[in-house]
Chain A
Amino acid sequence: MQPELLAWLIPLPPILAFFLIILWAYRNNRLSHTIALGSMLISWGLAMALFWVAIRAEDLGHHPIVSSIPWLPTGETSLNFGILIDPLSAVTLFFVAWTCLAIFLYSVGYHNFGKRRDPDDQPGLPPKAGGVEPMYARFFAFISLFAFGMLTLVVSDNLLLLFIGWEIMGLCSYLLIGFWYGKPSARDAMVKAFITTRIGDVLMLLGLAYLYSVTGTLNFRAILFDEQVLHTLAETPSIIGGLSTAGLIGILLFLGTVGKSAQWPLHVWLPDAMEGPTPVSAMIHAATMVSAGVYLVLRFFPLLTAGWHEGASLTPSMLVIAGIGAFTALFAATIAVTQVDIKRVLAYSTISQLGYMVAAVGIGAFVAGAFHLITHAFFKALLFLGSGSVIHGMEHGVRHTHEHVDAQDMFNMGGLRRKMPITFWTFLIGGFALSGFPLVTAGFWSKDEILADAYGHGYLLVFIILALAALLTAFYTMRQISLTFLGQPRTDAAKHAHESVWTMTLPLVVLAFFAVGIGWVGIPEQFPLLGGVLPNWLHEFVGGTLIEHPQALDFNPIPLLVSVGVALGGLLSGWLVYRRVSAGVPDPLQRWLGPIYTVLKNKYYFDELYHFLFVRPAYWFAETFTYRWIDRGLIDGFLHGVGRTAMRIGSFLRNAIDLPIINGLADRFGEGVKWLGRTFRVVQTGRVQEYLIIGLVFTGLLLSYLLLAQP
């Protein structure tokens, strides 16, 4: 099978699964998850085959796997609809397929498949007593649709198709965050997520339209692989003074990313998105959706960096990106330090890691950004699934000892490593990868490469901010690990937690393997000792996406030392601080930081700010202006007027015309028909043969007339 066909086929199985489950299979849980898993397995297999083809291909960057068919004829040109597999999309496909598969399998166990359905669970609420999820099949349908969106986005060869996948994912995140729509918090979260990302999407759509109006195409190759298209874009000034067209489009598209991968200031939705089931969190925050944002930025790297070359000063758009990325990294990290909900910590760490990637792109470190995207996808999916497993265990404990504690609050946990060893070890690996534990973990290599790029190209400010963020990352990761797993159980629930089923632990193990191993494909050459043991395959391969291959910058010990330092320092301090936190004791940081702690704990009051700035005015607008004035006053008034006049006309017609004339005629006609019937009913003797005779007579008459009339 030729690779184009493979690429075409990859997104199809999940959408088929979606329709199959929604339309037919939804009554049968086993059938539903079999269909979903099977379809994902098929896509996974196709993706792996394609990935294999891709890495064997000769100079894939300049001769990618493309095929396209005309879709929307627009005037003389026509929007095509096709697939593009170049190194970037190949590696993205790789980790998307793996993580999606892991998450699908995990969901089976997470939703208590095989348990009896608890009679007092109703749809829309999480199962209380550990029965199987009431809307099990629906979950798999949604998540299949989600996977379809992501795969479409990855294999698409033009911005429009990418945008379609993007929006499908937006819809699915809405549906899945609010999967337990019985909970008001979930409802709010879904609305929040949807609207917040919508803002970014609208701006991105603007950028898309602008790009199309300028270049007349949306195909990636046509725009990003064409020197003078990029050149003209970079040269021509845009409608906003001081920005080149490329810059403006870049910023607009980047705002889409800001919404999708939750960069400041549109980061608010992501922590609330934790209301959804944990596989969804993993799906959104690690595997697919937020990665999609970064993927977009990476995809449009040539456009963003149009008119910039290595070593030159950053273009305005790059400045914006780098600034927002770096700021978000630090900002989210600071918030994450103070959170107590195990999933929220991860959420904020996701935001900050995404900030890393964005910052990396901003400073032109394309390969580093891609590298961190991949590694982060793996270890963050691992962490989320691990946290889900922890929560699962805790919920079991809570059910067992009927004490009312929040099963997600890390301060209620502790000492779980004995209860759930697999989860603990995998979580530990994931956490170390996140905090960049030197040499072994994947996170170290990618993060180190970003730092190295930042330092090597002399963006010191970015470098420092990212280093700080890395420090904090290591700190809160260790804080989380030690609060959750180390020390003594702080509640009976934690005492009675237990390990999860294999369907949940197996994905953890698989992902843990990648969380460690995936880093080794990107070790820089001149790295002491290790360098050159494994060739820096990733740099060669992914770098090939760009027109001219970015040269790997030469080794520099300072960023390495820094990153090792911050990682180990953060981990150590986190461990020291949270090693033994006994039950009921408040967070030690609260003592040291005081008011700052409160500010951080309340996430810099961003939710309140937005609520004041946007939500309340929007409510006012809807309530007073739209509803009262426009709807009630104008439209309803007009309609009522129309109604009254119509009634007057109608009554006139009825009394003057209908009753006397028409009804009269009709009645008289009816009477006539009655009379006819009464007269001629004697024909109906009820004897078939007489009917036949009558029929014959008339037929004979007719025939004889017909025959004799014509001479």
Chain B
Amino acid sequence: MIPLSWYLVLAAGIFCVGLYGALARRNALAILMGIELMLNGVNLNLVAFWRYLTPNFITGQVFVLIVLAVAASEAAVGLALIISIYRRRSTVVAEEINMLKW
């Protein structure tokens, strides 16, 4: 069978890739995608733990559902923000949206 560690490593990998995307991309949409990837890795992690440690106690899946809800609303709000920023400043580059500084 598949060891737990594989899942965990894979989840960690996806998470870090997503993190890199969130940190390194200029386009806000790409950043959003990176964040989705991170959440995805977390979900994978949760499900793996649920399956391997407490398969008869549903908490893990509930947690995943909550994370999914969070992801959905985060995507909705984030995209709405991107659109309105695009309307006002006609850019979706995260670096150029830097008026809020010293």
Contacts and interface: CB of A to CB of B under 8 A. Distances in A.
A–B direct touch, CB within 8 Å, in complex? Answer: yes
Interface of A: 681-682, 684-689, 692-693, 696
Interface hub of B24, B94, B95 (most chain A Cβ within 10 A): B95
Given A681-B102, A682-B102, A687 B23 contact: no
Contact of A689 (B31, B99, B101): B31
B22 interface: yes
A682 B31 CA distance: 24
B31 to A, nearest CB: 7
B98 A689 contact: no
Contact of B22 (A682, A687, A692): A692
Contacts of A693: 23
A685 B23 contact: no
B94 A685 contact: no
Nearest to B101: A686
A692 B102 contact: no
A692 B102 CA distance: 17
A686 B94 contact: no
Nearest to B99: A686
A685 B101 contact: yes
Nearest to B19: A696
B100 A686 contact: yes
A688 B94 contact: yes
24 contacts: A681-B102, A682-B102, A684-B100, A684-B101, A684-B102, A685-B98, A685-B101, A686-B97, A686-B98, A686-B99, A686-B100, A686-B101, A687-B94, A687-B95, A688-B31, A688-B94, A688-B97, A689-B22, A689-B23, A689-B31, A689-B94, A692-B22, A693-B23, A696-B19
A692 B25 CA distance: 13
Interface string B74-102: 00000000000000000000110111111
Contacts of B101: 684-686
A684 B100 CA distance: 8
Contact of A687 (B24, B98, B102): B98
Contacts of B23: 689, 692-693
Contacts of B102: 681-682, 684
Contacts of A686: 97-101
Contacts of A682: 102
Nearest to B23: A689
Interface hub of A682, A684, A687, A696 (most chain B Cβ within 10 A): A687
A686 B23 CA distance: 14
A685 B97 CA distance: 11
Nearest to A692: B23
A658 B97 CA distance: 46
B78 to A, nearest CB: 11
Nearest to B98: A686
A697 to B, nearest CB: 11
A692 B24 CA distance: 11
A688 to B, nearest CB: 6
A682 B102 CA distance: 7
A692 B94 CA distance: 12
B18 to A, nearest CB: 12
Contacts of A687: 94-95, 98
A683 to B, nearest CB: 9
B35 to A, nearest CB: 10
Interface in B1-46: 19, 22-24, 31
A689 B94 CA distance: 8
Nearest to A682: B102
Nearest to A689: B23
Contacts of B19: 696
Contacts of B24: 689
Given A682-B102, A685-B101, 9 more contacts: A684-B100, A684-B102, A685-B98, A686-B101, A688-B31, A688-B97, A689-B24, A692-B22, A696-B19
Contacts of B97: 686, 688
A698 to B, nearest CB: 15
B70 to A, nearest CB: 18
Contacts of B99: 686
A203 B101 CA distance: 78
Nearest to A678: B102
B48 to A, nearest CB: 21
Nearest to A685: B101
Nearest to A680: B102
Nearest to B25: A689
A687 B99 CA distance: 9
Contacts of A681: 102
A681 B100 CA distance: 12
A179 B39 CA distance: 70
Nearest to B26: A689
Nearest to B28: A688
B25 to A, nearest CB: 8
A350 to B, nearest CB: 74
A425 B97 CA distance: 90
Interface hub of B22, B23, B94 (most chain A Cβ within 10 A): B23
A323 B38 CA distance: 99
A297 B96 CA distance: 91
A618 B3 CA distance: 98
A684 B99 CA distance: 10
A681 B101 CA distance: 8
A692 B22 CA distance: 9
B92 to A, nearest CB: 13
A373 B92 CA distance: 89
Contacts of A696: 19
A684 to B, nearest CB: 5
A260 to B, nearest CB: 68
A-B pairs, 7 with minimum CB distance: A686-B98, A686-B101, A681-B102, A684-B101, A684-B102, A687-B98, A689-B23
B12 to A, nearest CB: 14
Contacts of B98: 685-687
A674 to B, nearest CB: 13
A682 B98 CA distance: 13
Nearest to A683: B102
Contacts of B95: 687, 689
A636 to B, nearest CB: 58
B81 to A, nearest CB: 11
Nearest to A688: B94
A352 B99 CA distance: 89
